[in-house]
Amino acid sequence: MKCPNCRIKELVVIEMTVGGEQVRLHSCSGCDLRWWETSEGTTSLAGVLDLAAVGR
């Protein structure tokens, strides 16, 4: 999938489990756009860190 911001680079998608929740990081090496997704939709890095804290 191409980056929706720069429309040049392919996105890198990294899937992982954080605090028992499936999380995907989408990242563009061209324009440095990054966002996180959970089953609930798009979330912030703070939201992902909250999941990690709950999983402790």
In a domain, 33, yes or no: yes
Q: What is the pLDDT of residues 14-53, one digit of tens each?
A: 999 999 999 999 999 999 999 999 999 999 999 999 999 9
Mean local confidence (pLDDT), 6-15? 95
Question: Domain tally for the chain?
Answer: 1
- pLDDT range class, residue 55, cuts 50, 70, 90: low
DSSP assignment of 1-56, as one string? Answer: -B-TTTSSSBPEEEEEEETTEEEEEEE-TTT--EEEEETTEEE-HHHHHHHHHHT-
In a domain, 2, yes or no: no
What was the pLDDT predicted at 54? 79
Domain span at residue 27 reads 12-54
In a domain, 30, yes or no: yes
Q: Evaluate if pTM is beyond 0.95.
A: no
In a domain, 25, yes or no: yes
In a domain, 23, yes or no: yes
In a domain, 45, yes or no: yes
The whole-angstrom separation of Cα 55 and Cα 30 is: 33
- Judge whether residue 5 has pLDDT over 70: yes
